[in-house]
Amino acid sequence: MREIIIISGKGGTGKTSLTGAFAHLAAHKIICDLDVDAPDLHLLLQPQQERKEEFFSGHEAKIDPEKCEQCGLCETLCRFGAIRENGTGYEVDPLRCEGCKVCVAFCPAEAILFPEKHCGQWYISATRFGPLVHAQLFPGEENSGKLVMVLKQQALELAQARGADLVLCDGAPGIGCPVISSLSGAHLAVVVTEPTPSGRHDLERVAGLCRHFQIPLGVIINKHDLNDDESLRIEAFCREGSIPLLARLPHDPLVTRAMVQGKVITELPESDFSRQLKQAWSRIEALAGLDR
């Protein structure tokens, strides 16, 4: 079984649109959306939910008003300003609580509880291209890297159960914790970039991350014709780093047209853009060892 992750150093490069098209082109796969903070692959795939699970991670303090003796020690000790008086006693502001447990440890009345924190949900759904494993963190919640690992494990188990030979993942943008978790165990990272100074800079950062974790990578330049000079700089960076350039895709209104229809571009009548995408997917399969 192989695992391919589609990532980008920054948002807005077209990564999810390309992932949706690759999900259409790939055979015998499980699809996984690892962008748990701001997922959007479901907008293209229109999943029908089959399973829903709650995600708990970390802890937050909660004061039991019946046990609280209103001594105020917890408010004094909290370095994050998460505990305040509410007129009848003390309460914890969940947006400020960092889960450090100092108040729990020092409360003389043992009036502060420390339950697991409910951070979001994850799902297994059916789509027209196959099973989709995806999730949604609640706004502002942490532990996105841990939720990514939950999704990857569920996708691998589902692939084994259904005899799939590929897990195709749409990763989060950037190089932070969810991206690092996404790369764990991957056989190939496909980096989608755009020909802008920020796109090139973030490509360099995410390529460095892949090299650090020894994950093979290839690059797709999307909307390459918007800035020929930057496209040439990106190509030079790939040559110097012996990074395969998988495709140079033009800016094409067909992508937006497909999105408006709730489709991926390879579902529209064949075009030069979709032919280039198919060629890119063949190169990705070869790099990942799926053509053996």
The CATH code of the domain that includes 65 is 3.30.70.20
Q: Are 22 and 8 a contacting pair, CB within 8 Å?
A: no
Q: How far apart are CA 265 and CA 258, in angstroms?
A: 5
Same domain as 175, residue 37? yes
Looking at the fold, whether 220 and 240 belong to one and the same domain comes out as: yes
Q: Are 74 and 83 in contact (CB under 8 A)?
A: yes
Segments forming the whole domain that contains residue 97: 61-114
Contacts for 251 with CB less than 8 Å, ≥ 6 apart: 223, 225, 226
Dihedral sign for Cα atoms in the order 133, 244, 258, 35: positive
The CA distances from residue 247 to 267, 268, 274, in Å, are: 19, 20, 12
Q: How many structural domains is the chain composed of?
A: 2
Beta strands in 174-291, from DSSP E residues, in sequence order: 188-193, 217-222, 245-249
Q: What is the pTM of this model?
A: 0.89
Q: Which domain-ending residue is among 114, 140, 155? A: 114
pLDDT score, position 51: 97
Do 42 and 72 reside in the same domain of the chain? no
Gap between the Cα atoms of 23 and 129, Å rounded:
6
Distance CA 152, CA 180 (A): 12
- In one-letter notation, the amino acid at residue 226 is L
Q: What pLDDT is recorded for position 176?
A: 85
Asked if residue 138 and residue 84 are part of one domain, the reply reads: no
174 and 262 housed in the same domain:
yes
284 and 146 within one domain? yes
Distance CA 210, CA 193 (A): 15
d(CA 128, CA 42): 11
255 and 183 part of one domain: yes
| Same domain flag for 170 and 135 | yes
Q: Are residues 47 and 67 in the same domain?
A: no
User: Do 259 and 157 sit in the same domain of this protein?
Assistant: yes
In angstroms, rounded to a whole number, what is the distance separating the alpha carbons of residues 274 and 277? 5
Q: What is the pLDDT of residue 87?
A: 86
Residues 87 and 193 in one domain: no
**What is the full per-residue pLDDT of the chain (292 aa) written as tens digits?**
899 999 998 888 899 999 999 999 999 999 999 999 889 999 999 999 999 999 998 889 999 999 999 999 999 999 999 999 988 899 999 889 989 999 999 999 999 999 998 999 999 999 999 999 999 999 878 778 899 999 999 999 999 999 999 999 999 888 888 899 999 999 999 999 999 999 999 999 999 999 999 999 999 999 999 999 999 999 999 999 999 999 999 999 999 999 999 999 999 999 999 999 999 999 999 999 886 5
My answer on whether 35 and 176 are in the same domain is yes
Would you state the pLDDT for residue 291? 64
Find the CATH number of the domain harbouring 34.
Answer: 3.40.50.300
